[in-house]
Amino acid sequence: MDEIIRYFFDFSRLSGYWPDILHGFLITVEMSILTVAIGIPLGLLLAVLRLYGIRPLNALIIFYIDLFRSIPQLVLIILAYFALPFSGLVLSPFTATVVALSMVLSAFAEEIFWAGITSVPKGQWEAGRSTGLGFNQTLAYVVLPQAIRLGIPPLTNRAIGISKGTTLGSVVAVPELLNVTSSIQSNVANPTALTVGAMLFLALFLPFVRFTRWLERAYGHPRH
Amino acid sequence: MTATANGTDAARDIVVIKDLRKSFGNVEVLKGIDLAVAAGEAVVIVGSSGSGKSTCLRCINRLEEPTGGRITVGGQEITGRKVDLNALRRRIGMVFQGINLYPHMTALGNVTLAMRKVAGLSKAAAEEKARHHLDLVGLAHRADAYPAQLSGGQQQRVGIARAMALEPQVMLFDEPTSALDPELVGEVLNVMMRTKQLGMTMIVVTHEMQFAREVADRVVFMDEGKVLDVGTPHEILVEPRHQRIRDFVNRTRT
Ligand SMILES: Nc1ncnc2c1ncn2[C@@H]1O[C@H](COP(=O)(O)OP(=O)(O)O)[C@@H](O)[C@H]1O
Ligand SMILES: [Mg+2]
């Protein structure tokens, strides 16, 4: 038992690697934040556009969300990095990963926002419009606040799930946390780096997971 | 020119409906409605479920698009493509059976939203006026409550304040008490009676026959998409001239 603990927590083996680990951690944090900061607003924009009921546009939006919800994230990252250059678009590994993940998140976010918007009762629209508020005003002040509130718990879950996909960036050699720590592991033939990696992932995602729990409790039984 | 049934002249008519028709698909639910409502008048529309009362009311602020006929409100044509719908609707208050308060806003927020975003009042001016209107419905002390913290009757009174605060030319009420527990109906009807006393022009769809008898200047009886009869509450509800109305009155008498 002692043996095992010493094996997994042998921090002496990591001297000199700490800057790399920190750098990997920061890249993971950056990619996660960018994925959420691009994916969720993009999803909201798509849901709102879909509301205008422009047929060809809606067909495109639905194609987009179905596509990005069905392709595995790993495949998308590889495509973004290795296939897009053939169409003249060369992305860095970092950018390719963020683009792929935020598109996936935007597709799921669109579905969540859309479900939220359509579950706001028709009477809310009618109340707003009957007081002279325009379509966009009713959407902005009456419908979206309710739709977003409904969407927050499932959105946070999705955002966490997809942000964890930043680890997939290692396939295109993004020096993110998992990539860094697993290569240190093979360099020094000791898994302590992975232990550190796991703890850092925990430090990054656990607060979010707790936040969702809190949200679910706060919004699970709507008080107003 | 046309005269309303109680003899007022057309110049004082706030709402004039001529040969209003509405079809859903190929089902015609309004088959040529004619009605003129004078300033300050309270007209109550009664009739069995499905006779087209709501549809008629909703055509007046174009929540439903009429398929034929003409409607003017305050002398202005409201049908046709060039009409500024939002400006039109601001002049027409509506109170819903489903109440439809905004659940994420306080009573005050519900009342001030359109005052600020449509009428363009400053926050302070809107709030001051909104408090006045909440006071008129007896809810000044609940200004900061969310709809879920209010009883159904209180919610509907906020709904009335929300519409009244825009100082409309006419108020439309579509079964405002039908969704309420019986013991909460009275407070809403009282507020409506006071609204009438303030001189507001009102068109009310309701099944509250006592309210119709006491408050209505005229009662309209709708039947299968047509106006079967119009008259004083006494003429329509006490000594009906038509067998169908007699049947209806007997059914609703409690
Ligand atoms: N949006 C709609 N689509 C199709 N039919 C409708 C719609 N709204 C109302 N109707 C029909 O129009 C008729 C009149 O309805 P309504 O005006 O609600 O009657 P009332 O308010 O007198 O009960 C009913 O037969 C109803 O089913
Ligand atoms: Mg109705």
**Reported ipTM:** 0.93
Within 10 A of B211 (CB to CB), how many other CB atoms are there? 22
Q: Residue B99: which of B53, B157, B35, B142 has the closest Cα? A: B157
Q: What is residue B134's predicted lDDT score, i.e. its pLDDT? A: 98
Residues with CB under 6 A from ligand 1: B 24, 29, 47, 49-55
CA of A205 from ligand 2 middle (Å) equals 52
To the nearest 10°, the Cα dihedral for A171, A172, A176, A179? 40
Most ligand 1 atoms within 8 A of CB, residue of B23, B48, B55 to mutate:
B55
Q: Rounded to an integer, what distance in angstroms lies between the CA atom of residue B37 and that of residue B147?
A: 33
Contact A145 B63 (CB under 8 A): no
B160-189 residues touching A, CB cutoff 8 A: 162-163, 166
Q: Rounded to an integer, what distance in angstroms lies between the CA atom of residue B115 and that of residue B112?
A: 5
CA of B53 from ligand 1 middle (Å) equals 8
- Ligand 1 atom 3, closest CA: B24
Helix (H) or strand (E) holding B213: helix B209-215
Q: Residue A42: which of A54, A53, A52, A34 has the closest Cα? A: A34
Chain B residues with beta carbon closer than 8 angstroms to that of A141:
113, 117
Mean pLDDT of residues grouped by 10 in chain B (254 residues)?
Answer: 47 92 96 97 96 97 95 89 89 97 97 96 97 97 97 97 97 97 96 96 96 96 96 96 93 73
Domain ranges of chain A: 18-219
Most ligand 1 atoms within 8 A of CB, residue of B22, B24, B97 to mutate:
B24
Q: What is residue B5's predicted lDDT score, i.e. its pLDDT? A: 46
Q: What is residue B3's predicted lDDT score, i.e. its pLDDT? A: 42
CB contact burial A161-200 (16+ within 10 A = b; e otherwise): ebbbbbbbbbebebbbbbbbbbbbbeebebbbbebbbeeb
Q: What is residue B169's predicted lDDT score, i.e. its pLDDT? A: 96
Q: Once rounded to an integer, what is the mean pLDDT over residues A115-130?
A: 97
Q: What is residue B4's predicted lDDT score, i.e. its pLDDT? A: 44
Instruction: Measure Cα distances from B109 to A120, A173, B115, B141 in Å.
Output: 18, 52, 10, 14
Phi/psi of residue B225, nearest 5 degrees:
80, 10
Contact A126 B87 (CB under 8 A): no
B89 touches A at CB < 8 Å? yes
B103 touches A at CB < 8 Å? yes
Q: Residue B115: which of B70, B152, B166, B64 has the closest Cα? A: B166
The answer on pLDDT for A221 being more than 70 is no
Structural domain that includes position B146: 101-167
Distance from CA of B236 to the nearest CA of A (A): 30
CA of B80 from ligand 2 middle (Å) equals 25
Q: What share of chain A is helix, strand, coil (3-state, %, to 5)?
A: 85, 0, 15
Is B79 among the domain residues?
no
B111-140 residues touching A, CB cutoff 8 A: 113-114, 117-119
DSSP track, B124-174: HHHHHHHHHHHHHTT-GGGTT--GGGS-HHHHHHHHHHHHHTT--SEEEEE
Instruction: Measure Cα distances from A90 to A67, A87, A96, A99, A172 in Å.
Output: 22, 8, 9, 12, 13
DSSP track, A53-106: --HHHHHHHHHHHHHHHHS-HHHHHHIIIIIGGGGT----HHHHHHHHHHHHHH
Is B126 among the domain residues?
yes
Q: Rounded to an integer, what distance in angstroms lies between the CA atom of residue A140 and that of residue A135?
A: 9
- Give me the number of domains chain B comprises: 1
Question: Between A133, A149, A224, which is nearest B149 by CB?
Answer: A224
Is B213 among the domain residues?
no
- Ligand 1 atom 5, closest CA: B24
φ/ψ region of B37 (left if φ > 0, alpha if ψ in -120 to 50, else beta) reads beta
The answer on pLDDT for A224 being more than 50 is no
Q: Rounded to an integer, what distance in angstroms lies between the CA atom of residue A123 and that of residue B228?
A: 30
The answer on pLDDT for A106 being more than 60 is yes
CA distance from start to end of chain A? 53
Q: What is residue A220's predicted lDDT score, i.e. its pLDDT? A: 56
Residues of chain A whose C-beta is under 8 A from some C-beta in B? 121, 123-124, 126-134, 137, 141-142, 145-146, 149, 222-224
The answer on pLDDT for A184 being more than 70 is yes
The answer on pLDDT for A11 being more than 70 is yes
Instruction: Measure Cα distances from A21 to A9, A11, A26, A160, A202 in Å.
Output: 15, 13, 9, 21, 15
Q: What share of chain B is helix, strand, coil (3-state, %, to 5)?
A: 40, 25, 35
Chain B residues with beta carbon closer than 8 angstroms to that of A224:
103-104, 146-149
- Ligand 1 atom 8, closest CA: B55
- Ligand 1 atom 16, closest CA: B52
CATH homologous superfamily of A18-219: MetI-like (1.10.3720.10)
Within 10 A of A82 (CB to CB), how many other CB atoms are there? 13
> A70-100 pLDDT, tens per residue?
999 999 999 999 988 888 889 999 999 999 9
